[in-house]
Amino acid sequence: MVVNRESLDQGIIVDIAEEAARLGLFKVMSEEERQASLKHCLDKHDAESDLWLFGYGSLMWNPAIHFEESRLAKLHGYHRRFCLWTPVGRGTPENPGLVLGLDRGGSCRGMAFRIAAAHIESELRLIWRREMVTDAYCPYWTMLATAEGRIPALTFIVNRHHNRYAGKLPLEKQIQHIATAEGRLGPSRDYLLNTADHLRALGVYDKTLETLAEKVRRHLAPSPEDPEANFAK
């Protein structure tokens, strides 16, 4: 299942999340709650000014929004971590996958996207249908460092009080879930490997992500003793 403008507009991620809600896995925000959240966020932004959005995971390699400009950017005070369970999108209730969140401490390099003032509401409506289906993320205004100077930006940090918050998992547990979990949006490992590959293409070296990606690739590789073995199956 592809995440793009059309599928976001149709509410595909909302539909997937509602499947999980019917299983009692978590609560899904209503459309009214999402709109109220978006309005509250935009009340803090000058409607006449363009808006910068910071992406640190799938938004980097699949933004699915219209933007005028993108820049490499660095966020201080938060770091990228696989700390959010995904029991439907990239996993199952029996074997949930993991996706990234911004957690406290350190810093994170990613991409900042400039959205034209005239299109902020329409583009962020899509973002809210992607990132704010539940309240596992919290919209957060911050300052980013870029080569062209500091810019105010909107991003999403993990909600540590949400039941999907995984915290700091042991490396082996991360590897197991990311390597084997697969859901309606595809394998959890694709999310990791796409993010690692994109960062590398941008000239960004994330040691933690690279280590995790390499270990997941090894986990998936057939063993010398059993050429037919493949943990992805």
For the chain, 233 residues long, the average pLDDT of each consecutive 10-residue run is: 88 89 90 95 95 96 96 98 95 96 97 98 96 96 97 98 96 97 95 95 93 95 58 43
pLDDT of 229? 46
Number of domains the chain is built from: 1
Residue 109's nearest CA partner among 72, 143, 66 is 72
Interacting residues of 230 by C-beta distance below 8 A, sequence separation 6+: 220, 222
Q: Is 33 a catalytic residue?
A: no
The answer to whether residue 113 is domain-embedded is yes
The answer to whether residue 34 is domain-embedded is yes
As a whole number of Å, the end-to-end CA separation of the chain is: 19
The CATH number covering residue 95 comes to 3.10.490.10
The answer to whether residue 228 is domain-embedded is no
- Structural domain for 172, as ranges: 5-220
pLDDT of 23? 85
Give the position of tokens 């959890």.
Answer: 188
Q: Which tokens is 121 given?
A: 């509401």
Q: Which tokens is 13 given?
A: 């991620």
CB atoms within 10 A of CB 174: 21
Give the position of tokens 């609560």.
Answer: 27
Interacting residues of 107 by C-beta distance below 8 A, sequence separation 6+: 74, 75, 76, 77, 78, 79
pLDDT of 19? 85
pLDDT of 219? 93
The answer to whether residue 17 is domain-embedded is yes
Burial of 173 (0-12, 13-18, 19+ CB in 10 A): exposed
Q: Which tokens is 230 given?
A: 């493949």
Residue 168's nearest CA partner among 80, 99, 78, 83 is 83
C-alpha 64/C-alpha 161 separation (Å) is 28
Maximal C-alpha separation, the chain: 63
Catalytic residue among 6, 32, 48, 131: 131
The answer to whether residue 61 is domain-embedded is yes
Q: Give the bridge partners for 155, in sequence order.
A: 140
The answer to whether residue 226 is domain-embedded is no
Judge whether 37 and 132 are in contact, CB under 8 Å.
yes
